Amino acid sequence: MRITLAQTDAALGDLDGNLKRAERVVSEAVETESDLVVFPELSLSGYQIGEVPQDLSLSPDDPRLLKISERAGDAGVLLGFPEAGGHGLHTYNSAGYYEGGRLVHTHRKLYLPTYSTFEERKHFLPGQHSRAYGVRGGRHRAATLICNDAWQPQVAFLSVQDGAHLLLVPANSAQSMSPERYDSKEYWRNITTFYGRLYQLFVVFVNRVGVEGGLTFWGGSHVVDPWGEVVGECGEGAEAEETCTIDIDLADVRRRRRDIPLVREARLGLLRREIDRLLDEGGDL
């Protein structure tokens, strides 16, 4: 599989401009025979949507999104956008996966940070489901974890048990807001290599670049293989807007899991019993 990491900037509130940017990147990826194009979190709206007076939300089957997928031909495309929920009541921080001009799957961000300069819980409703889904015509399975979702190892675990061979992680990670003794780049590299090694699959991390308000997005998009090794990466820095194309062999996932079966015996029944016990004792719902 050939994967294009679309490490792009986004103009806050400029849906038309961001859509045109995405369409151009997809067209260029098709010329390089890419099988999958992954964009950052909220790549079509910008991150700080609370600063914009107009409604930026889109339906996952919006004709403009389907048009981008049509331009991709047989390649899959993952796009990040604010999703308009049912009856106009809610907005979700979502990523839609498209193939062949149609919507295959929508992931709604599950864990919304609300600390420091992050105010996602003020503007979005958290998603309620985590599902793996078919890619490349259903021949393989992937799962999406949007940024802070990946800081919850149980979500990646569920994705693996649901059959994912690919974790797609679109992000809007910034360093300027971070507390003391925290390095965003180092933390992300530790997370992705940990997942690749322990869950024995490919991790595709795509972070945006640019400056928005007081946030500086640093890029550093990369792919980790089932041995936990970085097999391709983009540049770092707010000005490092670029696309990187990386070839992977998904057969490596089965090969790795056969050699060292770390994920085969999850004992889901045991986990359900212990989770039920913790809930009965007053655990977080």
Catalytic residue among 83, 99, 120, 147: 147
The reported pLDDT for the residue numbered 87 is 77
Per the annotation, the verdict on 147 as an active-site residue is yes
Distance CA 231, CA 249 (A): 11
| Mean pLDDT, the chain, whole residue set | 95
Residue 160 or 176, more confident = 160
Q: Does residue 176 surpass a pLDDT of 70?
A: no
Per the annotation, the verdict on 244 as an active-site residue is no
- Is 75 within 8 Å of 34 (Cβ atoms)? yes
Catalytic residue among 83, 99, 109, 233: 109
Distance CA 167, CA 141 (A): 9
- pLDDT above 90 covers a percentage of the chain that reads 90
- Is 217 within 8 Å of 172 (Cβ atoms)? yes
Distance CA 235, CA 7 (A): 9
Per the annotation, the verdict on 119 as an active-site residue is no
Tens digit of each residue's pLDDT (9 = 90 or more) over 247-261: 999 999 999 999 999
- Is 91 within 8 Å of 112 (Cβ atoms)? no
Domains of the chain: 2-280 (3.60.110.10)
- Is 60 within 8 Å of 83 (Cβ atoms)? yes
CA proximity to 247, closest of 220, 221, 225, 227? 225
Enter the tokens of residue 5.
């990491």
Tens digit of each residue's pLDDT (9 = 90 or more) over 74-131: 999 999 999 998 777 899 999 999 999 999 999 999 999 988 778 899 999 999 999 9
- Is 190 within 8 Å of 203 (Cβ atoms)? no
The reported pLDDT for the residue numbered 115 is 80
Q: Does residue 177 surpass a pLDDT of 60?
A: no
